[in-house]
Structure 1
Amino acid sequence: MTLIAIRNLGVTLGNPLFSNLNLVVNSGDRIGLVAANGRGKSTLLACITGALEPSEGEITKARGLTIGHVAQNVPAALSDTPFYDAVLQALPADQAESESWRVDVVLESLEVSEVMRGRPLKQLSGGWQRLAMIARSWVTEPDVLLLDEPTNHLDLEKIAQLESWLNALPRDVPVILSSHDRAFLDATTNRTLFLRPEQSPVFALPYSRARAALDEIDAAEARRYERDMKTAEQLRKQAAKLNNIGINSGSDLLVVKTKQLKQRAEKLEDAAKPAHLERSAGAIRLANRGTHAKVLVTLDDTAVTTPDGTLLFKTGRQFICQDDRIVLLGLNGAGKSRLVTMLKQAIERPEAAPNGIKATPSLVLGYGDQALADLADRDTPIGTIIRRFDVGDQRARALLAGAGMTVDMQAKPIGQLSGGQKARLGMLVLRLTEPNFYLLDEPTNHLDIEGQEALENQLMAHEASCLLVSHDRSFVRAVGNRFWQIEKKRLVQVESPEGFFASVAG
């Protein structure tokens, strides 16, 4: 049954975000919406809800259709509201009074504890706030559910929980979700829409298979374009040759033939369409200054504790060696970020290194945390680059432009940049630091799929030694060559992350 029909839809905000978009949403559809940061995903969802008027085209909805829309941000008016009340308030007043049990049903399905239900949203982590917004939408029993970046701020346990929850929804309720989490898209969708400025292809496949099909189409179009342009060039050369002969011989027949060849060349050139080239949101490049040391960090049964001294786990005797790309696995609260903090301290301040951690003196650290706390909100990108690194104004502007920062963005306070823009600025800072060892805590947060793949490629190409924490399963699988897991208060090496992923999924 068709619930939503989108015909020739387009939105232009300065530049076209998308155009000629055609999509039919049927019962049972689970549609993954894929595009780079700032390329129209949230805009399309807003058009579907009716909150934004498209520049062209139309959206037809089934009579009486109700839509649940979970945006990326929590409304400021709800920040002081307890979790339970925030969900209850989504119901009409009469229904909230007589059917509050609906809230309990939804919260139980999302495994929200009694303690969590009573806490104000502003006291909750970003992940719990996301679940609260999803619960607010679902409690109204919408006919269609729209989710905008639902895995933002979720740890791996909650992502697995959300996957299970989505897959358990009634199959007749279509879901359209935008996400940069490739594994999540594969687990929860059966169709994929790639938003593009000119033509937005749709595949009846989950993300990875759809991406492979799209790459084949793009490659075929590139070959066709190259072939057509080469043929047109040959026709023009033949025309020029015949034209010279015709002029010298006075042959009208050759002049006519020349004109025909030129017309054929023009027709080919006019019809030929270049293959789609994704406009980059900004290059991600890393550096690796290298080191002669084989062992970079030694952990000698280090006790990893909370700041108040509570033991989280012991490391045993472990080594981080050159060319290692170690992924640290563990449940939320197991102590992953705490170990990263201790390693950072040992490298930057060896005289104050925690007991049992020894870093080689030649290490130059490239550190990135998930909050990008190293970037001051009041500073500007141009100010950050000029003050931290030995580059002048012109060079700094060129570097920022290469990272996707327009002239206007370069002068904005960093606190006003989007998450994706801040993430790319953070990557530029890492590159200019020229480290030989990276400590990365959730480095793919706020990066779109293009950015994630670029980071993967850079870590591999530069043979960068690193220890990283990430809930992005695709990133972990692509980058890691060693895996440490925290279990039963011990740090152990495992062959692959798959056992941990399976245990989290339950």
Structure 2
Amino acid sequence: MALISLRDVGVVTPRPLFQDLTLGIGPGDRIGLVAGNGAGKTTLLRCIAGLAQLDRGSITVSHGAVVAHVQQDVPEAWHALPLQEVVRRALPPAEREQEGWRVGLVLDEFETPEDLRARPLAALSGGWQRLALLARAWVTQPDALLLDEPTNHLDGERLAWLEGWIRGAAARTPMLVASHDRAFLDACTTRTLFLRPGASRLYAHPYAKARHLLEADDAAQDRRHARDAREVERLRRHAGALRNVGVNSGSDLLQKKSMQLRDRAERLEQTLRPAHAEKAGEIRLASRGTHARVLLGLRDVTVRAPDGRALFRIGRLDLRQGDRVVLQGRNGVGKSQLIALLRRAAAGEEPGVKLGPGLVLGHAAQGMAHLPEDATPHRLVAAHAGIGDGRATSLLAGAGLGVEMHHRPIGRLSPGQKARLGLLALRLAAPNLYLLDEPTNHVDIPGQERLEAELLAQEATCVLVSHDRSFARTVGTRFLLIEAGTLRDVTDTPAAASR
């Protein structure tokens, strides 16, 4: 029996996101929710959680059932609170004193180090902030979970823990999981819902097999659409010919048959439904040439935290043209700090680093935090040499940013929109060395695949941090593990090296 029932639900304003969606979520269901950026995944989760309104249809939750919603972002009001207090406040006020012991049990279950529990949430890594949100949900003893991008910012160790927890302790708790992480979806889900503005598709399989079936169904629908469109055209031609003959000969019978054929053509035309086509913007890169074989050479360099603490040492590291280096290690070991050091080195501000001739750097920070939040996308793009207003508008539209976003402050864009804008800015810089810190966070699956294809097609040289195993396996040529204060080459796969 379904714990949560959706019947003919839809959100169609200010534009269609989904409609006529009917779905039951019951014990043991772990449904992967897949769609492009801005296509309605978060909206659907919020509607089920009672935080947003449907335009049509109904959602029914079994009487007394607790449905916990794990959102993507940490509210600013929680930043100063200790982790354990953030979790405790998920309990009803009347239960916090007598039931507060449950907080410790959940934090133990989540393998939370003691020294983290009293730290303010803002002082924790993005991965532990994500797990704090999940702990808040779990401490309420929910009957169902709604998870919105639960793997963002998790390192390999925490991601492996999350997958084991979902398949183990939480296996019988119904879940609807919105995610762009292909490997995670395959590891943890039992069914897949592809959310679409028209007819959404549900398959009784994890992501990879479900996508294969979806592509086959879409291809079959395209063939039916083409066949029926040809039949409509044939009926119209035949009806027109019969009408002409009927008029010229004065035959009422032929004119009646002509009208019948036209009616058949109109009824068939109303059923024509081409397969859904993703309308996500393109992701393209550009890479300028260089004759240098080694773009950066590091000798006896210590990577430090912002407060000056030594994190790890690099004895020798050469970044050669064509290297696509994936940095691995737990959250907090210094992957992002190495990216920051390389940026300073490219500006000539770091001793112990030798620059190759003609080095041009392109950088994308986590969450595209390097983008100026007060600027607008149009101003940012138009500022590049040789790009006027018209070209800027065209480039932004091609990247999937609607015209209503072009003059909106960047700080007000969604994470997915910022990601696409940041990747467009990278393309315009045309670097020969890319520094990419979690570039696929908030980028939908089609966007991830386009970015992979571009990095390979451009034979780009890059240093990247990514916890997306599918992305790292596809693009990486070298894997460097930061562990126990050192950096070393590893030959394991991304999943194995991060355990």
Q: Could you tell me whether the CA contact under 8 Å between 2:71 and 2:147 is conserved in 1?
A: yes
What does residue range 28-47 of structure 1 map to in structure 2 within 5 Å? 28-47=28-47
Secondary structure of the 2:16 match is strand
Taking the aligned partners of 1:420 and 1:298, their CA distance within structure 2 comes to: 31
Which digits, 9 at most, give the CA deviation of each residue in 1:345-364, with x for residues without a partner? 33343xx4531x33321232
Q: Which residue of 2 aligns with 1:285?
A: 284
Taking the aligned partners of 1:363 and 1:76, their CA distance within structure 2 comes to: 39
Q: Which residue of 2 aligns with 1:422?
A: 418
Residue 395 (structure 1) aligned with residue 381 (structure 2): no
1:167 CA drift (Å): 2.0
Alignment equivalent of 2:365, drawn from 347, 365, 369: 369
Change (3 A) 1:486 1:130: closer
Residue 141 (structure 1) aligned with residue 141 (structure 2): yes
Q: Which residue of 2 aligns with 1:342?
A: 341
Q: Could you tell me whether the CA contact under 8 Å between 2:151 and 2:159 is conserved in 1?
A: yes
TM-score where L is the length of structure 1: 0.90
Q: Could you tell me whether the CA contact under 8 Å between 1:313 and 1:335 is conserved in 2?
A: no
Secondary structure of the 2:480 match is strand
Taking the aligned partners of 1:298 and 1:155, their CA distance within structure 2 comes to: 26
Residue 437 (structure 1) aligned with residue 433 (structure 2): yes
Change (3 A) 1:494 1:234: farther
1:263 CA drift (Å): 4.5
Which digits, 9 at most, give the CA deviation of each residue in 1:431-470, with x for residues without a partner? 1112233221111122122221221122223232222221
Taking the aligned partners of 1:88 and 1:492, their CA distance within structure 2 comes to: 41
Amino acid at match of 2:8: N
Alignment equivalent of 2:469, drawn from 449, 454, 473: 473
Moved more, 39-48 or 304-313: 304-313
Moved more, 125-134 or 7-16: 125-134
1:22 CA drift (Å): 0.6
Change (3 A) 1:239 1:461: farther
Q: Which residue of 1 aligns with 2:198?
A: 198
Q: Which residue of 1 aligns with 2:304?
A: 306
Q: Could you tell me whether the CA contact under 8 Å between 2:127 and 2:331 is conserved in 1?
A: no
Secondary structure of the 1:31 match is strand
Secondary structure of the 1:444 match is coil
Amino acid at match of 1:119: R
Sequence identity percentage? 51
Change (3 A) 1:422 1:106: same
Amino acid at match of 2:378: I
Q: Which residue of 2 aligns with 1:329?
A: 328
Taking the aligned partners of 1:78 and 1:300, their CA distance within structure 2 comes to: 40
Which digits, 9 at most, give the CA deviation of each residue in 1:152-176, with x for residues without a partner? 2323322222222222224332111
Taking the aligned partners of 1:333 and 1:456, their CA distance within structure 2 comes to: 26
Q: Which residue of 2 aligns with 1:119?
A: 119
Taking the aligned partners of 2:153 and 2:267, their CA distance within structure 1 comes to: 52
1:228 CA drift (Å): 1.8
Q: Which residue of 2 aligns with 1:62?
A: 62
Which digits, 9 at most, give the CA deviation of each residue in 1:251-304, with x for residues without a partner? 777666655554444443232211111232x322111233344x1425354434
Taking the aligned partners of 2:198 and 2:367, their CA distance within structure 1 comes to: 35
Q: Could you tell me whether the CA contact under 8 Å between 1:160 and 1:504 is conserved in 2?
A: no
Which digits, 9 at most, give the CA deviation of each residue in 1:383-428, with x for residues without a partner? 2122243322222222222222233322222111111111111111
Q: Could you tell me whether the CA contact under 8 Å between 2:8 and 2:56 is conserved in 1?
A: yes
Equivalenced residues, count: 497
Change (3 A) 1:383 1:7: same
Secondary structure of the 2:12 match is strand
Taking the aligned partners of 1:390 and 1:166, their CA distance within structure 2 comes to: 51
Q: Could you tell me whether the CA contact under 8 Å between 1:389 and 1:432 is conserved in 2?
A: no
Secondary structure of the 1:455 match is helix
Moved more, 11-20 or 146-155: 146-155
Q: Which residue of 2 aligns with 1:272?
A: 272
Amino acid at match of 2:180: H
Amino acid at match of 2:324: R
1:33 CA drift (Å): 1.3
Moved more, 21-30 or 464-473: 464-473
1:92 CA drift (Å): 3.0
Amino acid at match of 1:142: P
Which digits, 9 at most, give the CA deviation of each residue in 1:298-333, with x for residues without a partner? 5354434216473613253544123x3232223334
Amino acid at match of 2:336: S
Moved more, 45-54 or 101-110: 45-54
Q: Which residue of 2 aligns with 1:20?
A: 20
Change (3 A) 1:345 1:44: same
Which digits, 9 at most, give the CA deviation of each residue in 1:70-117, with x for residues without a partner? 222323333322111222222234432223221111000111121111
Secondary structure of the 1:232 match is helix
Taking the aligned partners of 1:317 and 1:326, their CA distance within structure 2 comes to: 11
Q: Could you tell me whether the CA contact under 8 Å between 1:348 and 1:365 is conserved in 2?
A: no
1:503 CA drift (Å): 5.0
What does residue range 80-159 of structure 1 map to in structure 2 within 5 Å? 80-159=80-159
Change (3 A) 1:91 1:255: closer
TM-score where L is the length of structure 2: 0.91
Taking the aligned partners of 1:58 and 1:348, their CA distance within structure 2 comes to: 57
Secondary structure of the 1:269 match is helix
Amino acid at match of 1:354: P
Change (3 A) 1:303 1:220: same
Q: Could you tell me whether the CA contact under 8 Å between 1:316 and 1:490 is conserved in 2?
A: no
Alignment equivalent of 2:496, drawn from 476, 491, 502: 502
Structure 1, unaligned runs of 5 or more: none
Secondary structure of the 2:192 match is strand
Structure 2, unaligned runs of 5 or more: none
Taking the aligned partners of 1:100 and 1:88, their CA distance within structure 2 comes to: 6
Amino acid at match of 2:57: G
Q: Which residue of 2 aligns with 1:354?
A: 351
Which digits, 9 at most, give the CA deviation of each residue in 1:174-196, with x for residues without a partner? 11121111112122211111111
Taking the aligned partners of 1:45 and 1:447, their CA distance within structure 2 comes to: 18
Taking the aligned partners of 1:482 and 1:246, their CA distance within structure 2 comes to: 76
1:10 CA drift (Å): 0.8
1:486 CA drift (Å): 3.5
Moved more, 223-232 or 236-245: 236-245
Moved more, 119-128 or 98-107: 119-128
Alignment equivalent of 1:297, drawn from 295, 298, 320: 295
Q: Which residue of 2 aligns with 1:183?
A: 183
Q: Could you tell me whether the CA contact under 8 Å between 1:189 and 1:206 is conserved in 2?
A: yes
Taking the aligned partners of 2:155 and 2:252, their CA distance within structure 1 comes to: 77
Secondary structure of the 2:21 match is strand
1:30 CA drift (Å): 0.9
Give the RMSD, CA atoms, in angstroms: 2.6
Taking the aligned partners of 1:242 and 1:302, their CA distance within structure 2 comes to: 88
